[in-house]
Chains A and B, each alone.
Chain A
């Protein structure tokens, strides 16, 4: 379970995180997926916190723990947390299938098996037959699904979502939010026994209410519980 201990982050004179201590909450009515939302205005440090948890940035002081074990010396690729980016960060030189298979290949899965798994995962999110397409030929919604399934096939212990809807237009955003959690449930369904945990960073309170079981607001470097 994720835990933050006295996490502090400074950028020059700006104090983004001020000795933040926090623990993954208990979700009373989990339906297989637990979503915790992290709200806050632009520049509050939400994404920085997410990147520190992922291991892409280091905190000025304090530590991140998983299952009571400090992750200070665990590099990003060995944490088992998948991060989905705001602009999706699909690799432009790989097609959809190889994008999805990327993480599996890094886990030592053979090329053929990784590609088969990628195709199966694409089917689970309604993108059957998309494997050979170039990522640049996809719509915004399709890119988002590919990015999501690319993160999910690696069976992450924790899925970190950084404003996953902000790159989409408003009409599409509302439509996709509901389908998003279904995609996560389907893609993860029956693969592991543990509860699926998602940490969602957003500046949109409606999005947080629709998706999050619990929510915190990052304000002046501190985490304030909302619900």
Chain B
């Protein structure tokens, strides 16, 4: 059959692409592109002192570098992202290699655990880092070390989220290599170490570099971690933008700072896209099989011990510390938490996330369907990942200040941030569907809508659920946009945690830990609820 060389990409699309694409286009255009353009225009054409336009587009760009504090914040943002990226490479590549090459007890569990950071809310992760490494933390108290004097808390928070990215990319890169190539290299005289340097690492490098550029991007644009863990001394540019807007009303300076952050982000996104293209090499058929670990092989045993040590200390211990801190909280703390304020915050969290989830799933599926026909449409769908939530929220503040008291704007912003998380798995699932199934259904008398309903949708449903689960987890823990746009009556669990941290007293800190534990448990439960039925189906 010749269908493989004559792709019928439209077979699975039940409606006209233009109509299907309208919703996602409006959401991305209205809430990501327009606010960003507004932000750029505002920053580039205004002066810091008066806020009035001066007409010189390029003049505004350089205002930031005249200010020592702001230029230092940009530099520190780049430095902390570089340090995290370097550490993620040093820790993550050996861990990935061991996981890719060896079978050991708990390997599957470890791989599943590496998904956790994708689900954990930013603020909860920050609270976890404080509960483990902080001056009041379990390890911090035991070591009698005040980590707030160093940038370690911020770096540890960055590593919590990003180390798993490098490990997962590394495992995929190392695991897909040809066994025959290594055997040939060994017969040609290469030691295992030389094989690693000359074959294994170069082969996995595009995937690893791609992950490292994402790590840099996330650290550069991160907000919640930097706000809670960086303090005044290690505040990043994103935190300064928030402070300038929310506390000092210096919109012009904030927008000029945002311009430079957008520029750096754009450069890294470009690098990432280039690396992704290079990483898209076909998988080899004769993949190298993993070896089973035995107790006598002391080097691999040490390697596996290293893997567990890294994953536990960076990833699992902070999460466990939150629950420990919550459990040992005083009765007064629990009384303080069990109030109408918490119930309202929980209700707001669920209603905003629930409404946004519906929007994100419908528009994400529509977008993925159109993306099956037009490749450039897919790039458009990834845009919300490339612009930081702070930039989006700040841009909206400038673009539609009169709408800021309308909760649908907050819901739409949530949906925008979640959109790529739905698009990506659904697009991959659609790509994996052979056109023959839709064609067979058509030839058996099904209309395009019936094909969608009876064939395509049931087959991509697991991907839709997976995307929805990740989207919901992201929205439950959303912090940056909520802080910018939220009003007192819209307080969510994340903003309530932040409010507790801003109040004096030990019970306030303990309340923040209790709420963090609650939010984490809620997120994990809802994530499991959405994903589990399809996992059961798959196993069956």
Contacts and interface: CB of A to CB of B under 8 A. Distances in A.
Nearest to B457: A93
Interface stretch (B106-114, B225-233, B440-448, B485-493): B440-448
A44 B306 CA distance: 58
B2 A85 contact: no
Sorting the interface of chain B by its residue count into under 10, 10 to 19, 20 to 34 or 35 or more gives: 20 to 34
Contacts of B441: 91, 102, 106
B9 to A, nearest CB: 12
Interface stretch (A17-25, A46-54, A207-215): A46-54
A89 B436 contact: yes
Given A56-B439, A82-B443, A151-B444, A46 B459 contact: no
Contacts of B434: 87, 89
A107 B408 CA distance: 43
Interface string A103-143: 10111000000000000000000000000000000000000
A172 to B, nearest CB: 19
Interface string A22-47: 00000000000000000000110111
Contacts of A81: 443
A113 to B, nearest CB: 15
B439 A85 contact: yes
B450 A106 contact: yes
B446 A56 contact: no
Contacts of B5: 11, 43
A150 interface: yes
Contacts of B450: 77, 106
A13 B228 CA distance: 61
A92 B436 contact: no
Contacts of A59: none
Given A51-B3, A89-B440, A106-B450, A154 B445 contact: yes
Nearest to A78: B445
Given A48-B6, A77-B445, A154-B445, A86 B459 contact: no
B532 to A, nearest CB: 18
> Which of A56, A75, A103, A107 counts the most chain B CB atoms within 10 A?
A56
> Which of B2, B11, B447, B450 counts the most chain A CB atoms within 10 A?
B2
B280 interface: no
B458 interface: yes
Interface string B419-450: 00000000000000010110111111111001
A106 B443 contact: no
Contacts of B11: 56
B53 interface: no
A89 B5 CA distance: 17
Contacts of B289: none
A91 B1 CA distance: 18
Query: Does more than half of chain B's interface fall in helix, strand or loop, or is it mixed?
Result: helix
A91 B434 CA distance: 10
A51 B446 CA distance: 16
A217 to B, nearest CB: 16
Contacts of A151: 443-444
B8 interface: yes
B79 interface: no
Contact of A45 (B2, B8, B447): B2
Contact of A76 (B3, B6, B436, B442): B442
B455 A91 contact: yes
A87 B444 contact: no
A105 B450 CA distance: 11
Interface in B451-470: 454-455, 458-459
B14 to A, nearest CB: 13
Given A57-B8, A91-B455, A47 B444 contact: no
Contacts of A105: 454
Interface string A183-209: 000000000000000000000000000
B1 A87 contact: yes
Interface string A55-94: 1110000000000000000011110011101110101110
A107 to B, nearest CB: 6
20 contacts: A45-B2, A46-B2, A51-B439, A76-B443, A77-B444, A77-B446, A77-B447, A77-B450, A78-B445, A82-B444, A83-B439, A85-B1, A85-B436, A86-B1, A91-B441, A93-B458, A102-B441, A103-B444, A151-B444, A162-B1
Given A151-B444, A163-B1, 8 more contacts: A45-B2, A51-B6, A54-B443, A56-B442, A76-B442, A85-B436, A89-B440, A91-B440
